[in-house]
């Protein structure tokens, strides 16, 4: 198969809900149509992703608590109670479903059959007009799952990946704590359905416990090595090694803060390049002794300024440039294909039901 990208993190539905973004329209057209302000720029869209050969994207479903100290002024839809979190998340699920219903270029991936349909549209003999993007729904923080047994209901809606934590909630004690009793119960329920577990934003302790206890497939959708930034959002060397021992995959973000220790938001964009992203990829490869445990989890639309993305990335169409950066560093064509798509595809295949 020709090279294609699997991006393990984009906030498509969340940004549609919070900012009124239209995933069907080119990012540049939307950007120039918005008034200047303190909102993050439009960086992704269906046409941008297709042009950048992003064949599959893990589309985030995220809700933000009204009490969160990290709540942004533009995050106008937030929750106070679990019922509110559920409704906000269901709106995002419905957004993805409507996109797939109304766009012949989008296929929700819920089964192995769906995945095969998407991949077939990217065969070398297919034209650009025949390409279809697959969206896999990923819940970033399980706040909207009122109780562990409700996980089955969300799977019926099409959810296929669950990250139990996004900071503190009923399933985790935050960046410094462990999983709660409900958190361990959630893992048990997820395991019964072979859900793809995402350890992104779990604490070191909780991540280690989840890797040890969870028998199903595991990823860290967007979590860079802590070597480049001492942040609880990043993975320590020991955690990366544990993830690799379970054949897990971590997606490297195109976020400057996690790519260069001495980066500051006031720095010019050119201070961080695609070479820094490759540095993070290579670090994981050297640490684990393999190219099998690293991929792309761009978080390109994660709510930060355009200048926080490496030069020359402007929109998702530029993610294809990562291919050239990997080859320039000496990675083989086969290694490049695995890093940009194959590794995440392997975990997705392990988790999807037949159909």
Identify which has the larger pLDDT, 297 or 1.
297
Our count of domains for the chain comes to: 1
Task: Identify the pLDDT of residue 186.
Answer: 97
CATH number at residue 298: 3.20.20.140
Closest CA to 170 of 153, 183, 157: 183
Q: Which domain holds residue 156?
A: 5-351
Examine the pLDDT at 92 and tell me if it is beyond 80. Answer: yes
Q: Between 32 and 138, whose confidence is greater?
A: 138
State residue 71's pLDDT score. 87
Q: What percent of the chain has pLDDT over 70?
A: 100
The radius of gyration of the chain from alpha carbons, rounded to an integer in Å, stands at 19
Query: What gap in Å lies between CA 30 and CA 308, rounded to an integer?
Result: 19
In this predicted structure, the answer to whether residue 345 has a pLDDT above a threshold of 90 is yes
- Give the pLDDT of residue 299: 98
- pLDDT(1) > 60: no
Residues in the chain: 355
**How many other β-carbons are positioned within 10 Å of the β-carbon of residue 129?**
7
Query: How much is the average pLDDT of 336-351?
Result: 98
Residue 53's nearest CA partner among 355, 275, 336, 354 is 336
Listing DSSP states for 176-198 in one string gives TS-B-HHHHHHHHHHHHTT-EEE
Read off the pLDDT band of 290 (50, 70, 90).
Answer: very high
Could you tell me if 143 and 172 are in contact, meaning their C-beta atoms sit under 8 angstroms apart? Answer: no
* Cα–Cα distance for residue pair 221/209, rounded to 1 Å: 18
In the prediction, which pLDDT does 169 show? 86
**What mean pLDDT value characterizes the chain?**
95
The pLDDT value recorded for residue 349 is 98
Q: Is the pLDDT of residue 3 over 80?
A: yes
- Convert the pLDDT of each residue in 301-325 to its tens digit: 999 888 899 999 999 999 999 999 9
């Amino acid at each position: 198969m020709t090279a294609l990208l699997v991006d393990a993190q984009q906030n498509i539905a969340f940004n549609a809900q919070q900012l009124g973004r239209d995933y069907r329209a080119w990012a540049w057209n939307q950007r120039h149509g918005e008034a200047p302000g303190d909102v993050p720029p439009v960086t992704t869209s269906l046409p941008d992703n297709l042009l950048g050969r992003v064949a599959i994207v893990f589309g985030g479903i995220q809700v933000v608590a009204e009490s969160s100290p990290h709540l942004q002024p533009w995050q106008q839809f937030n929750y106070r109670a679990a019922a509110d979190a559920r409704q906000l998340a269901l709106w995002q699920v419905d957004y993805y479903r409507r996109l797939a219903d109304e766009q012949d270029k989008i296929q929700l991936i819920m089964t192995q059959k769906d995945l095969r349909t998407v991949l077939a549209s990217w065969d070398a003999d297919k034209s650009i007009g025949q390409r279809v993007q697959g969206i896999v729904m990923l819940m970033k923080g399980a706040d909207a799952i009122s109780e562990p047994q409700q996980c089955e209901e969300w799977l019926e809606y099409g959810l296929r990946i669950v990250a139990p934590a996004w900071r503190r909630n009923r399933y985790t004690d935050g960046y410094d704590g462990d999983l709660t009793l409900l958190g361990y119960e959630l893992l048990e329920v997820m395991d019964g359905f072979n859900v793809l577990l995402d350890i992104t934003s779990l604490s070191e302790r909780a991540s280690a416990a989840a890797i040890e206890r969870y028998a199903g497939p595991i990823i860290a959708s967007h979590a860079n090595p802590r070597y480049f930034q001492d942040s609880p959002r990043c993975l320590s060397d020991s955690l990366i090694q544990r993830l690799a021992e379970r054949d897990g995959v971590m997606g490297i973000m195109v976020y400057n803060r996690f790519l260069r220790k001495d980066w500051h938001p006031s720095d010019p964009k050119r201070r961080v390049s695609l070479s820094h992203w490759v540095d993070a990829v290579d670090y994981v490869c050297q640490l684990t002794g393999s190219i099998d445990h690293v991929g792309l989890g761009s978080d390109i639309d994660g709510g930060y300024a355009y200048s926080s993305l490496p030069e020359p990335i402007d929109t998702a169409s530029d993610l294809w440039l990562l291919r050239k950066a990997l080859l320039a560093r000496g990675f083989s064509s086969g290694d490049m294909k695995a890093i940009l798509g194959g590794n995440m595809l392997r975990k997705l295949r392990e988790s999807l039901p037949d159909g």
